[in-house]
Amino acid sequence: MLFSLRLRHIALLPLALTLFSCSTTPGNSVQDARAFLESAETELLKIQVADNRAGWVHETYINDDTDSLAAAADDRLIGRVTELVKESARFDNTPLPPDLRRKLTLLKLSLPMPAPADPKLREELTQLAAGLSGSYGKGKYCPSPNDPAAKCFGVEAVGEKMAKSRDPKELAELWEGWHKVATPMRDRYARFVELSNAGATQLGFKDTGALWRSGYDMEPAAFSAELERLWTQVEPLYKELHAYTRTRLKTKYGAAATREDGMIPAHLLGNIWAQEWENIYDLVAPASAPATYDLSKILAARKADAKQITGYGENFFKSLGFEPLPPAFWQRSMLTRPADRDVVCHASAWDVDADTDVRLKMCIQGTGEDFIVVHHELGHLFYDLAYRKQPFLFRSAANDGFHEAIGDTIALSITPEYLKTIGLIQQVPPPAADIPILLHRALEKVAFLPFGLLIDKWRWQVFAGEVKPADYNKAWWALREKYQGIAAPGERGPDAFDPGAKYHIPANTPYARYFLAAIYQFQFYRAMCKEAGYTGPLNRCSFFGSEAAGKKFKAMLDLGQSKPWPEALKQMTGEDKADAGAMVEYFAPLFAWLEQQNKGATTGWTIAARK
């Protein structure tokens, strides 16, 4: 929803549909419903743009004033949303055309942060939301907290150190240091959950988690089952990757990486949250393989700046037949970290006015990872631009997972063939290099899957009251152990709140979208490769320059949220059901190789009973 731009990457459901001036004599006919929604669309744009602008300033100029301004804008928007949802109930039993019924249904699902009707409680909720997001953005790890002259490190600096360090002691200190940032958030987060649930209940949902799970054109329980079905398809691949990585880490770190239960210590995987493992590729790379390329070094040698790296991403979309980014993008985006203020550097794409004012907020440092992230984030913006011609209430993705998957689909096409075409490498590595390339990508894509699944599983338990604040951390690690086979570096104290050390928790960003996107992107990619006429191994396909693939792609994007997501999926792929089989097909050569490497080794891990 468009409101979610402030607190997360992209639009989730069209919050646009949430603002409306109530008529003095409400009726419940089809004509009344149409007038109700049209009025909402007209008024919504003004209020939403103001809300988005406050959010943009909040994340690019973090201070107490912008905290308050963002909270006030949120309060105004959420208040109107809550009123409108209640007003819309008069049409619940009115026979309506499908488009109007869909808009009214989406209206009820439009708030990721439902608020109580009581203005004081609503204000408290929005202040908590802004404060939690601000606390994360301002968070610092200070190795010497009692020394005012000592250097402190924000999340980007901690992440960079963890990516490069190979000292297990230093890695444990960095991991522990950043996670302490979240400890003061726990009580505020618990209150946030309480208030959000109160709002969800008033809207007719069991809790906020149930509201979130209702946004996928299926019942909440069916959606939970759908995620588990998709996970089951890819779990064998993950377990092979886990076993292989564990063996190589034991070779490197010895006792520091060895646990009797077979789990991997979280701090050794090159990432603050152990959500992606590509930063330790050098530790797990095949012993003998043809040399490939280091995109970060190539970009550095070319002195590619943030604007040039962004231009590569824009040119990919242009090669598919998309129009260039609007001038406002280049004038108003934040592409590098400002030197004079705190900002939220977490990369995000912003559709500020539901038209052509689209922006990228990112602290580009010129790395290969940045190159890929830019392609991903621009996917959000080209999606925004594609559906801007839809009625305002449908200006969002078929579902939030689609929005995340669009850019990732493009990023999958960043193959050696593509890099040679645009002149970044001179030679395409031979087929023998496929395993190293696939392994590197699996450390990003496959390693992420269980993490992408468990974030919201934890929150759904919290919102449902199944996990109390005193057990937040215990439940968090139970899920990480179950799905990831990952363990904390050491014992966690009773006050620890490790979930809060991940941006999407204090920012209240629903996360199932990322798991879905990890699945959808391969399904989209396979369909686009087929449309481009490609017939070789799936992992070597690049559809760069294929206007035929671009035409098919854009037809799906143009739909926005006007149709249920299975219809949008079928428009693109010919299939109306999510299928992780495309991902398994993509990694098939690596899967076979991992099985060979793991011969004689035990895959999986054991989980001890928790007290």
pLDDT digits (tens, 9 = 90+) for 547-586: 999 999 999 999 999 999 999 999 999 999 999 999 999 9
Residue 26's pLDDT band (boundaries 50, 70, 90)? low
Q: Per-residue pLDDT averaged across 503-529, rounded?
A: 95
* pLDDT, greater one: 168 or 343: 168
Q: Per-residue pLDDT averaged across 382-389, rounded?
A: 95
The pLDDT, as a whole number, for residue 438 is 95
Return the closest-CA partner of residue 271 out of 182, 372, 178: 178
Q: Where is the domain boundary, 107, 138, 169? A: 138
Q: Per-residue pLDDT averaged across 485-512, rounded?
A: 95
pLDDT digits (tens, 9 = 90+) for 47-67: 888 899 999 999 999 998 998
pLDDT digits (tens, 9 = 90+) for 214-268: 989 999 999 999 999 999 999 999 999 999 999 999 999 999 999 999 999 999 9
Q: Per-residue pLDDT averaged across 467-474, rounded?
A: 97
Query: Does residue 458 fall inside a structural domain?
Result: no
Q: Per-residue pLDDT averaged across 476-496, rounded?
A: 96
Among all residues, which ones are annotated catalytic?
Answer: 377, 504
Residue 21's pLDDT band (boundaries 50, 70, 90)? very low
Tokens 């079928």, residue located: 570
Q: Rounded to whole angstroms, how far apart are CA atoms 126 and 239?
A: 41
Q: Rounded to whole angstroms, how far apart are CA atoms 517 and 336?
A: 26
The pLDDT, as a whole number, for residue 11 is 34
Single-letter amino acid code for the residue at 30: V
Return the closest-CA partner of residue 325 out of 285, 375, 368: 375
Is residue 9's pLDDT more than 60? no
Cα 314–414–155 angle (5° rounding)? Answer: 80
Query: Does residue 260 fall inside a structural domain?
Result: no
Return the closest-CA partner of residue 286 out of 429, 448, 450, 418: 429
Q: Rounded to whole angstroms, how far apart are CA atoms 373 and 280?
A: 18
* pLDDT, greater one: 300 or 105: 300
The pLDDT, as a whole number, for residue 107 is 80
Is residue 74's pLDDT more than 90? no
Share of the chain above pLDDT 70, in %: 95
Q: Per-residue pLDDT averaged across 365-381, rounded?
A: 93
Helix (H/G/I), strand (E/B), else coil: 358: strand
Q: Per-residue pLDDT averaged across 473-484, rounded?
A: 97
Return the closest-CA partner of residue 6 out of 53, 67, 63, 64: 53
The pLDDT, as a whole number, for residue 15 is 33
The pLDDT, as a whole number, for residue 149 is 80
Least confident of 121-135, 383-397, 537-551, 596-610: 596-610
Q: Per-residue pLDDT averaged across 439-448, rounded?
A: 96
Least confident of 14-28, 42-56, 120-134: 14-28
Residue 130's pLDDT band (boundaries 50, 70, 90)? confident
Query: Does residue 410 fall inside a structural domain?
Result: yes
Residue 609's pLDDT band (boundaries 50, 70, 90)? low
- Residue 351: enclosing H or E segment and its boundaries? strand 348-351
Q: Per-residue pLDDT averaged across 84-93, rounded?
A: 86
The pLDDT, as a whole number, for residue 610 is 53
Is residue 3's pLDDT more than 80? no
Q: Rounded to whole angstroms, how far apart are CA atoms 68 and 289?
A: 55
- 495: its two tokens: 């006050």
The pLDDT, as a whole number, for residue 204 is 86
Share of the chain above pLDDT 90, in %: 75
The pLDDT, as a whole number, for residue 42 is 79
Provide the Cα torsion 473, 479, 480, 481; round to 10°.
110
Query: Does residue 90 fall inside a structural domain?
Result: yes
The pLDDT, as a whole number, for residue 24 is 40
- 85: its two tokens: 């949802």
The pLDDT, as a whole number, for residue 22 is 38
Is residue 13's pLDDT more than 60? no
Count of domains observed in the chain: 2
The pLDDT, as a whole number, for residue 145 is 82
* pLDDT, greater one: 165 or 148: 165
Q: Where is the domain boundary, 108, 138, 168? A: 138
Q: Rounded to whole angstroms, how far apart are CA atoms 1 and 351?
A: 11
Q: Where is the domain boundary, 93, 119, 138? A: 138
Provide the Cα torsion 45, 46, 52, 56; round to 10°.
140
Query: Does residue 357 fall inside a structural domain?
Result: yes
Radius of gyration of the chain (CA): 24
The pLDDT, as a whole number, for residue 20 is 33
Q: Rounded to whole angstroms, how far apart are CA atoms 532 and 550?
A: 9
The parent domain of residue 120 ranges over 2-138
The pLDDT, as a whole number, for residue 5 is 32
Q: Please, what is the average pLDDT of the chain? A: 90
